[in-house]
Chains A and B, each alone.
Chain A
Amino acid sequence: MSAGTRDVSDVKRLSELSSETREGPQEMLPRSATTSAQLGRESGAVLRLPEGHVLDPASLDVERPDDETMIINMGPQHPSTHGVLRLMLELDGEFVLRTKPVIGYLHTGMEKQAEELTYVQGATNVTRMDYLSPIINELAFSLAVERLLHVEIPERATWIRMLMSELNRVSSHLVWMATNGMDVGSTSMMIYGLREREMILAFYEKTAGLRMNLNYVRPGGVAADLPDGWEDDVEIICDTIEARTYEYDDLLTGQPIFHQRMEGVGTLSAEEALALGLTGPLLRSTGVPWDLRRAMPYLHYDEVEFDVIVGTYGDNFDRYAIRLNEIRESIRIVRQCLEKMPPGDYRTQDAKVTPPPRGRIDASMEALIHHFKLFTEGFHVPIGEVYTAVESPRGELGMYLVSDGSPKPFRLHVRGPSFVNLQAVPLLMRGGLLSDTITVISTVDPVMGEVDR
């Protein structure tokens, strides 16, 4: 073979290997190829007008030639996009004109999988969605199933669920504090946040056997009772983390560089937040005191005292302050759970959903069959549909469950708060600096496992 032919085949092979990948219309297109409605949406103009929905084409810079701006791609492997979020940014120099989040890189078809799993197995599926708050995912799923089943949950199980959810909220916010610290350049915060979270994960391991994706909250109660001496563990967690939140104040809250990165950056108004369906700290940062634990109480949140933290300006700093103070409020709730934890059963004794105790399986054939049926076939849930929402650390986590009377959900739709909150990113970034995109993504706090499901 001569050198010439080898060159040709190499070039051909190279071109086959390096064919361009693209998402087609999912990507951000140049201005000349974008319709004005689409351009308006990407520029956030839809929301900036007082009428809320009237798009004025004159306010859009449609005529700007394409060669004045530059479309660049950020992610999906960028370390500060918190997972596999990809952003297409249109830049004018250092300023961001348009932003389009491109998602789906972590899509694993969990809603489809849920239709193939029984209700017993379902909690293991949903716990992997928002991997920073597994307990709260399981809780939303279990509450939906129990609502359809009309099963009453024992008092102790309800309080255990509350205790674990609030610890989960603390650990989720601690990871947020850590990664946000990292994003703005405070690498020590990264270490401190994960160090504190470790205490909570260790307590989870002691209780449920696992650190993450616990499958601890299940339809019918929780998987296991709290371990002996749990009061001391929880007390130490509360005392340590509460004391350390004041160290974070010293480290971040008063620090001038941190202020400059956060204050007045990525502002949001209450009207915009409501129109976009934003919930959680994003909505509360605009001054709307909406927290499902207070507004539509589930479990026993109406029996504990806590404050709903709200902001004023809807900027990054408000969202930081809300999350920091929510750690303190959650610790307050955990302390009350500690005080009020009643004795009793940790799961319902309704034989329909709860397997017989291990001891009886050896002694009774009926118990063995019952156990076997429950874990192979599962339990039947009456025909119906229900929407259950809980307050996750990121906002309203809703589960829309449709049952056809079989042991598997007919349809499980998850309203992921991150998925909806991500729509605020183009609005928050518009007109801002490229360097601010990092802090904006960080304070919107999307968990991509939940966005893509």
Chain B
Amino acid sequence: MTAAATYPTTTGLDGETICFVTRDQYISAVAALKDDGYEMCVDVCAVDYLGHPGRELPEEIPAARFEVVVNLLSLSRKQRTRLRVQIPESDPRVDSLFELYPGTEAMEREAFDLMGIVFEGHPDLTRILMPEDWEGHPLRKDYGVGRVPVQFKEAPGPR
């Protein structure tokens, strides 16, 4: 039995396993999967489901506005597993995977920068793509396109 089987799972379109874990289970679930042969964390990203008509979630998982999606890869078994973690809008925090997979450093910084998810325990959670003094997190659905005047760092006048 694989480590993933203890959480509600579905199968993705490519036959990959999708696990739904809560924030509390997140680190232990990833650690169990890592011991189970998932050598590489390929991708960490965040999705803002504000305004989405509805996604399929297992019954026991209440939907929240944000979702952190982690793609793990097992090179030995040629398998992928995806973890989807619900992150409430009021408290967008989740533990960092840095201790397990150091390669998530840049990906978590990107998710923080563009979506505003705070990864607890990350060694250097600063903006990575946007300028340091940028306001807001551009990939959020309530961050408009083309309505905000372009911010230049040294521009005079109100922001």
Contact = CB atoms under 8 A, between A and B. Distances in A.
A109 B130 CA distance: 9
Interface stretch (B21-29, B41-49, B87-95): B41-49
A126 interface: no
B52 A410 contact: yes
Interface in B28-86: 39-43, 45, 47-48, 51-56, 69, 71, 75, 78, 80, 82
Contacts of A104: 127-131
Residue with the greatest number of chain B CB neighbours at <10 A, chosen from A385, A388, A398: A385
A137 to B, nearest CB: 16
B16 interface: yes
A384 B78 CA distance: 23
A41 B98 CA distance: 10
Interface in B79-137: 80, 82, 99-107, 110, 114, 123-124, 126-133
A420 interface: yes
Nearest to A384: B13
Contact of B123 (A38, A147, A423): A38
Secondary structure at the A interface, as helix, strand, loop or mixed, is: mixed
A115 B133 CA distance: 25
Contact of B55 (A53, A111, A383, A423): A383
Given A53-B99, A413-B43, A386 B145 contact: no
Contacts of A295: 75, 78
Interface in A111-154: 111-113, 115-116, 147-148
A37 B124 CA distance: 8
Interface in A367-408: 383-389, 396, 398, 400, 402, 404-405
B106 A420 contact: yes
Contacts of B52: 402, 404, 410
Nearest to B143: A112
Given A37-B123, A147-B13, A387 B75 contact: no
Contacts of A47: 102
A275 B39 CA distance: 7
Interface stretch (A18-26, A163-171, A315-323): A18-26
B153 interface: yes
A274 B39 contact: yes
Contacts of B80: 387
B4 to A, nearest CB: 16
Contacts of A26: 126-128, 132
Given A107-B130, A420-B103, A400 B78 contact: no
Contacts of B8: none
Contacts of B128: 26, 103-104
A332 interface: no
B55 A112 contact: no
A452 B100 CA distance: 25
Contacts of A46: 102
A19 B152 CA distance: 14
Contacts of B110: 419
9 contacts: A26-B132, A275-B102, A277-B104, A295-B75, A295-B78, A383-B55, A383-B56, A396-B42, A405-B53
